[in-house]
Amino acid sequence: MEETQDHMEEIEGSEENVTFKSLGIVDVLCEACELLKWKTPTKIQRESIPIALQGKDVIGLAETGSGKTGSFALPILQSLLENPQRLYALILTPTRELAFQISEQFEALGSTIGIKCAVIVGGIDMMTQSLMLAKKPHVIIATPGRLVDHLENTKGFNLRSLKYLVMDEADRILNMDFEQEVDKLLKVIPRERKTYLYSATMTKKVAKLQRASLKDPVKVEVSSKYQTVDKLMQYYIFIPAKHKDVNLVYILNELAGNSFMVFCSTCANTQRVALMLRNLGMTAIPLHGQLSQAKRLGALNKFKSKTRSILIATDVASRGLDIPHVDVVINLDIPTHSKDYIHRVGRTARAGRSGKAITFVSQYDVELYQRIEHLIAKKLPLYPREDQEVMQLMERVTEAQRFARMELSETSNKKGKGKRSKRPDDEDDTEESTGVRKKFKKKKGK
């Protein structure tokens, strides 16, 4: 780890005398950065903003967390200030969450100059979106599938005036089989435009897309591939699989007051763990790919606004999300792909803060764990804990597990009888005080 470059440097900027102004950003946007408390440009911003301001295409090899959104948003906003025009820029991104996050940054940076953005993603009513497009926003942030849908079906909507195209997380866009949609989009937007392509990795598909869509691009790379941060304290605990829950509860209690992200391997397990923790009076909320769009955003917002301190997530949530205040990442289920370990623990120790990551290793996970140690080139210490103290929690945890299972089967029974059309995971069932939970509370009260 020592020889690897410090990720924090990327976020905070190491060259203190470099400012947004010295990179060529105009005062009104520098002020917007100040309002966001962006004191110095990050590494990707330092490297790509001057190139973008010269009017060149950019390939940025950088991950979420590096400040890459600012590195394309600032030059686009600056150009827009010089040439005010509707339907000016299109940002393509692989997921709905990322689209909303990018939009938030555009709006925050562009608030004083009256920027209008529209987020066009699946899972939201087409009609509402058509109305948003009819108002001709300056910037569209979209997932490729839904945007193509509008180009084909929304009367009067086209992208013929577009001046900027950004393909954000291009590797993921292509891995998610959006290749055809991207091809279609490239055919209907003007060739005379600036293009920025951002990707965490340069895959064959990304290289092909680059050849098809960029003109004499300049490459900037800050990707800290497979490295973790110095301010991140990483630990593991070695326990039998059946003791995972009780150890989780022990750690959550011990580190109470922090914000946690707990990773599970399946949607069902996130749901079960969230219910169990709720039964123990903890503010846990599940986030996974089977939740409806509204629930996913709702869960994230509750977590971001700190009304919930424990986010239980699958890997769907582990990449790309900008969750600023995770103090502790817990890998309750070890990641099957060791690279996911890096993405998961990358949720903590961001923006100059320190963070902890604790990985649960059971008798079944030893090989996977060794692969992680190999990847990060580091042997991790054991997380210090008193086995006796942990076991004192066993009875309460077993009871909470039992009730969680009952709640889950109560939900699926109701679903089976057609009383409720919800899928067991298509909701934050943990929010509802179900009959079973009421009984549990009563029992605890006795």
Which of 66, 79 has the CB closer to ligand AMP?
A: 66
Those residues whose C-beta lies under 8 Å from the C-beta of residue 132, and which sit 6 or more positions away, are 118, 120
Q: For 317, which DSSP code?
A: G
The CB-of-105 to ligand AMP minimum distance in angstroms stands at: 6
DSSP 374-415: HHHT-PPPBPP--HHHHHTTHHHHHHHHHHHHHHHHHHHHHH
The only residue of 67, 94, 144, 355 in contact with ligand AMP, by rule CB under 6 A:
67
**Contact pick of 29, 49, 59, 66 for ligand AMP (by CB under 6 A):** 66
Segment contacting ligand AMP by CB under 6 A, of 62-70, 279-287, 297-305, 412-420: 62-70
Of the candidate spans 37-45, 192-200, 205-213, 389-397, the one that interacts with ligand AMP by CB under 6 A turns out to be: 37-45
Q: Which of residues 333-362 bind ligand AMP (CB under 6 A)?
A: 351
- State which residue, 141 or 400, has the beta carbon closest to ligand AMP: 141
Residues in the chain: 446
Q: In 38-156, which ranges are E strands?
A: 58-61, 89-92, 117-120, 139-142
Q: Report in angstroms how near the CB of residue 265 gets to ligand AMP at its nearest.
A: 25
Q: Which of 48, 57, 70, 348 binds ligand AMP (CB under 6 A)?
A: 70
Helix pair angle (96-110, 27-35), 10° resolution = 120
CA distance 105 to 71: 11
Q: What are phi and psi of 21, to 5 degrees?
A: -65, -45
Segment near ligand AMP (CB under 6 A); pick from 63-71, 117-125, 231-239, 301-309: 63-71
List the one residue out of 299, 278, 282 whose CA is nearest residue 290: 299
Q: H helices of 169-262, where? A: 170-175, 179-188, 204-213, 244-254
Cα-Cα-Cα-Cα dihedral sign, residues 45, 47, 50, 55: negative
Per DSSP, the chain holds a count of helices (H) and strands (E) of 18, 13
By CB under 6 A, tell whether 64 contacts ligand AMP: yes
At 385, which amino acid appears?
R
Shortest distance (Å) from residue 37 CB to ligand AMP = 7
CB of 405 to ligand AMP, least distance (A): 38
440 three-class SS: helix
Of the pair 64, 199, the CB lying nearest ligand AMP is at 64
Report in angstroms how near the CB of residue 326 gets to ligand AMP at its nearest.
12
Does 38 help bind ligand AMP (rule: CB under 6 A)? yes
Q: Which of 43, 51, 69, 315 lies at the binding interface for ligand AMP (CB under 6 A)? A: 69
Q: Which is nearer to ligand AMP, 296 or 350 (CB)?
A: 350
Q: Is 68 among the residues that bind ligand AMP (CB under 6 A)?
A: yes
Binding to ligand AMP by CB under 6 A, coded x per residue (else -) over 301-330, reads ---------------------x-x------
Chain residues in the site for ligand AMP (CB under 6 A): 11, 38, 41-42, 45, 64-70, 322, 324, 351
